[in-house]
A = this chain, B = another copy of it.
Amino acid sequence: MTGDRLRVGVVGYGYWGPNLARNLNELAGAELQLLCDPREAARERAQLRYPGLVTTAEFDDVLSDDDVDAVVVATPVSTHYGIAKAALLAGKHVFVEKPLAASAREALELGMLAAAQGLVLMPGHTFLYSPPVNMIRNLIDADALGEIYSISTSRVNLGLHQPDVSVVWDLGPHDFSILRHWLGEVPSHVAALSRGCILPDTPDVAFIHLEYKSGTIAHVELSWLAPSKLRRTTIIGSQKMIVYDDTSNEPVRIFDSGVMIRDPESFGEFKLSYRTGDIVSPRVEAAEPLLLELEDFCKAVRTGSTPRSSWQIGLDVVRVVEAVEQSLAREGARVPVVLEGADLAHDLLPARDLL
């Protein structure tokens, strides 16, 4: 680091890389040191935007550059593991676009490696830095909602189909990371139903049931085939209910509604009472989540703090995606969310001790 500035090498300048580069460039605590992309056109686009930026087609140049403190990875999912591992082994801190890796096994190994090396490994779960998501997290933490009975969420729009990745891998990590952040737990079981409507081998619509040990149940609808964009999550608590809509001017709406059992001791007719109270749309701070996320990465490197979007959360997200894939492979059967295989569990235990 130059003083307090983290010198960053960005790997991958395709769809998401430019957003990362732009925010890194605006960040006081970071410096865009080097950009790596095998595609000449991508490198040229970057240089047009950042005159003077050093670029390279060779990832090895990033690894061997002593002026690079950290690597920010925005490449296809299948390459995350290899790139992140090499960077960690080269002593670089690593930020990887979500999902952290293509399997829980890979994600765990990366996490173990980072822990062993004393380096930061952080997946890019941007929604963990979204002001409305955190406002809801704070309400849950303060027990303002009471017991969380159920959560139902729809994340649908028309496009973007991706040739090599299903809608579960593409959109699922958003909801799985948000749920993990809110509930502080990973689902115990999932069951899923999906269809490849346009390309038979690429699921583009998925319905997912999630069960939690705490009793919370959840449903996640993901789709690239929808008449209009929908980002709507409903949280039903015993004290209050919340509707979170990321596309709305009022992203968080808090409903003081509920049901109570009246006269619990009375013998005779069953009676429930419905409570419908005020609805509040609290003012939500305007802030760019991606900027906050990269700031958290810089801070983690600088101070040794654990980033909110930790690799453990990244691992948990991949575990859920994998469980969903398993359920789909088994015709929608209900499957537990576990790390697969006994040897993986074996790897895990000593590693957890290390942390």
Q: Which of B152, B234, B283 contacts A278 (CB 8 A)?
A: B283
Evaluate contact between A197 and B238: CB separation under 8 angstroms. Answer: yes
Judged by a CB distance under 8 angstroms, whether A85 is at the interface is: no
Residues of B within 8 A of A209 (CB): 191, 193, 207, 209, 332
**Chain B neighbourhood of A333, CB < 8 A:** 333-334
Contact of A225 with B by CB under 8 A: yes
List B contacts of A259 (CB < 8 A). 158-159, 161, 198, 224-225
Interface of A is mostly: strand
Asked whether A276 lies within 8 Å of B158 as measured between CB atoms, the reply is yes
The number of times this chain is found in the oligomer is 4
Which chain B residue lies CB-closest to A259?
B198
Give residues of chain A (161-212) contacting chain B, Cβ–Cβ below 8 Å.
161, 163, 189, 191, 193-195, 197-199, 205, 207, 209, 211
Partner of A226, one of B198, B241, B249, B281: B241
Task: For the complex formed, measure the closest distance between the CB of A213 and the CB atoms of chain B, giving whole angstroms.
Answer: 13
- The number of chain A residues touching the other chain, given as a range, is 35 or more
Least distance between A264 CB and chain B CB atoms (Å): 11
Asked if A304 CB lies within 8 Å of chain B CBs, one says no
Interface residues of A in 308-323 (CB under 8 A from B): none
Cβ of A219 under 8 Å from chain B: yes
Tell me the A271-286 residues at the B interface (CB within 8 Å).
Answer: 272, 274, 276-283
5 closest pairs, A vs B, by CB? Answer: A227-B255, A163-B270, A279-B281, A149-B197, A207-B219
18 contacts between A and B (CB under 8 A): A51-B51, A149-B205, A159-B259, A189-B332, A193-B209, A197-B238, A198-B259, A199-B261, A207-B207, A207-B219, A225-B236, A225-B241, A225-B259, A227-B257, A276-B283, A278-B282, A279-B280, A281-B281
Known: A158-B276, A211-B332. 16 other contacts (CB 8 A): A149-B195, A149-B205, A150-B195, A150-B205, A150-B225, A158-B274, A191-B191, A191-B209, A191-B334, A207-B207, A209-B209, A226-B234, A227-B257, A228-B255, A256-B283, A279-B280
